């Protein structure tokens, strides 16, 4: 029985390798799902079990300088990703409606493949958000949503990049998410810089509005697919998943907005020291990568929902 199970796994692995787009097969972490799945499993174990136990009897590290460098580096990286998505089609040849997957090896298609992979790879860099939480003993920030977002998002994106890397309607949400992360990481970079920069963070409330706008744009854009008579060269499963992501997180953040800014059920600020990966103690909602926010990302999948707080997507 074990032999049959092993044989089935080997066959599945071979099948996936044969279906991987040849244009992206040589990129790091794209040879098979085994590598990235191993990394993400190790991440979950570290975030939930190993990390907190290693820090249990240690003092939290002061990592403000590292966080400033990290957050501002992520600003630059995400800005570059947005630019490349635009130049690969969204600001040049795409119609913003039924934009097809490009199966050719044209310079534009290869450029789109590179930025799609870079967006995917950036999700592994973002795992450092959780590392900062652990080392600073901010375990309360490492919620189920935070860990789920940081692990599930790159896992799902491997399938998209490996099977359909060259554009299509599905790449729109990645461009929008990277745009939001530019703003988000800039905010958290300032927050990590210390009390003297608190006066420049008056726009914290609008981070939630930016996240809601992201979900609206993504959901409306992808919803066009359901009303078109014909839109070939798409993968319906990706369309459905993106629509569900957008709607789910829109509802999540709408509830946060109502609770925090309409009903006023926000926790009082305890002080002005940076919290999280550079965020302040007040509730902040951000969705990153569609991240349901983490480091302050609106973690389309990296978030915290507790007593009125939603963190990092």
For residue 173, indicate whether it is catalytic: no
Which helix (H) or strand (E) element contains residue 117?
helix 107-125
**What span, in angstroms and rounded, lies between the C-alpha atoms of 224 and 243?**
10
CA distance 121 to 108: 20
How many Cβ atoms sit within 10 Å of the Cβ of residue 14? 11
Q: If DSSP codes are grouped into helix, strand and coil, which group holds residue 225?
A: helix
Query: At 275, is the secondary structure helix, strand, or coil?
Result: strand
Residues 6+ apart with CB under 8 A from 1: none
| Residues 85, 178 contacting (CB under 8 angstroms) | yes
Rounded CA separation 30/22 (Å): 10
Residue 241 to residues 6, 30, 265, Cα–Cα distance (Å): 30, 21, 32
Contact 161, 24 (CB under 8 A): yes
- Choosing from 13, 146, 149, 173, the catalytic residue is 149
Mapped onto helix, strand or coil, the DSSP state of residue 189 is helix
Residues catalogued as catalytic = 149
């Amino acid at each position: 029985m074990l032999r049959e199970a092993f044989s089935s796994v080997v066959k599945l692995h071979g099948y996936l390798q044969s279906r991987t787009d040849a244009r992206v097969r040589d990129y790091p972490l794209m040879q098979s799902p085994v590598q990235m799945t191993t990394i993400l499993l190790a991440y979950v174990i570290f975030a939930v079990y190993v990390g907190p136990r290693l820090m249990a009897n240690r003092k939290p590290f002061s990592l403000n300088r590292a966080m400033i460098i990290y957050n501002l580096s992520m600003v630059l990286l995400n800005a570059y990703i947005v630019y490349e998505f635009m130049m690969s089609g969204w600001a040049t040849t795409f119609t913003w409606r039924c934009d097809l997957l490009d199966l050719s090896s044209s310079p534009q298609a290869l450029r789109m493949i590179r930025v799609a992979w870079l967006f995917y790879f950036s999700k592994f860099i973002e795992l450092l958000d959780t590392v900062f939480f652990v080392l600073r003993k901010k375990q309360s920030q490492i919620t189920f949503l935070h860990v789920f977002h940081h692990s599930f998002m790159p896992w799902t994106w491997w399938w998209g990049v490996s099977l359909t890397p060259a554009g299509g309607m599905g790449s729109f949400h990645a461009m929008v998410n990277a745009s939001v992360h530019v703003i988000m990481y800039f905010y958290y970079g300032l927050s990590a810089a210390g009390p003297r920069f608190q006066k420049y963070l008056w726009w914290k409330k609008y981070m939630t509005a930016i996240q809601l706008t992201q979900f609206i744009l993504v959901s409306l854009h992808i919803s066009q697919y359901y009303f078109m008579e014909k839109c070939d060269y798409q993968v319906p499963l990706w369309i459905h998943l993106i629509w569900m992501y957008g709607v789910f997180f829109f509802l999540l953040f709408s509830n946060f907005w109502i609770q925090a800014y309409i009903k006023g059920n926000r926790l009082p600020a305890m002080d002005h020291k940076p919290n999280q990966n550079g965020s302040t103690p007040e509730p902040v909602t951000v969705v990153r990568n569609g991240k349901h926010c983490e480091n302050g990302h609106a973690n389309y999948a990296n978030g915290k929902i507790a007593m009125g707080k939603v963190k990092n997507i």
